[in-house]
Each structure stands twice: as structure tokens, then as C-alpha cells.
């Protein structure tokens, strides 16, 4: 589970940052994008919630039933569901950090 609690996606240079890891250019914590039009943020992203949505999607794909399909369509549906589950599970298992102004997802490739 990521050690971060909140994150506001940077679009340009952050105006405020959380902890900066000693000896690195990696920022962890809360970042705010530049303000436009009277001070409202351009966009916000809660990365932990984002990753949780991917975990939820992976579970939903795994648990959903197979609709009544003919042989080839059924095989194609199952193959796509397996790809969807893999994609969602990989992203959902990621840890994250902000490094040099980029959101970096680290996906474990071993069990």
C-alpha cells in the first residue's frame, strides 16, 4: 500500500510541496498545480483513490459473469476480460511518487 495520503497533480511547477526526499529530486506529499482565472486549481488528482479505482475495476472484471455468447464471441470476450483484469491489476498494484515534476507509478513485476 502506498505511504502517501494525498496528491494534487502538478501541471507545471508545484506551488507548494510536501516532503522532499534527502539527496533526491523526488517530492512526496501534496502538490498544487498553478492557479488560473482567479486562483482556482487547473485540476486535482487523488492518486491513492485513482489506484483504488483500478483495483476495484480489476475485481469487477474478475467477478463479472460471461454473457450468453456464441463460441468465437465468447472466446473473444474471455480473452478481453483477461487482458482488462491484467491491466487494471497491474496499475492497481503500483506505488507512486512525484519525481522531477512527473507522477511515477512503480509496478511490481514479481509475485
Write down the domain spans for the chain: 19-106
Burial of 99 (0-12, 13-18, 19+ CB in 10 A): middle
Lowest mean pLDDT among 39-48, 49-58, 60-69: 39-48
- Compute how many other C-beta atoms are within 10 angstroms of the C-beta atom of residue 67: 8
Q: DSSP alpha helices (H): ranges in 64-99?
A: 71-92
* Per-residue pLDDT reduced to its tens digit, 43-56: 577 889 999 999 99
pLDDT of residue 32: 53
pLDDT of residue 33: 52
Helix (H, G, I), strand (E, B) or coil at 29: coil
Helix (H, G, I), strand (E, B) or coil at 98: strand
CA dihedral 15, 18, 20, 26 (to 10 degrees): -70
Amino acid at each position: 500500500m502506498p505511504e502517501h495520503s494525498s496528491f494534487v497533480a502538478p501541471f507545471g511547477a508545484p506551488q507548494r510541496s510536501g516532503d522532499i526526499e534527502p539527496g533526491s529530486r523526488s517530492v512526496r506529499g501534496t502538490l498544487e498545480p498553478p492557479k488560473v482565472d482567479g486562483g482556482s486549481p487547473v485540476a486535482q488528482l487523488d492518486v491513492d483513490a485513482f489506484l483504488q479505482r483500478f483495483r476495484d475495476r480489476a475485481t469487477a472484471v474478475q467477478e463479472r459473469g460471461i454473457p450468453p455468447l456464441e463460441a468465437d464471441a465468447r472466446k473473444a470476450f474471455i480473452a478481453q476480460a483477461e487482458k482488462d483484469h491484467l491491466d487494471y491489476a497491474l496499475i492497481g498494484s503500483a506505488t507512486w511518487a512525484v519525481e522531477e515534476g512527473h507522477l511515477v507509478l512503480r509496478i511490481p513485476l514479481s509475485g
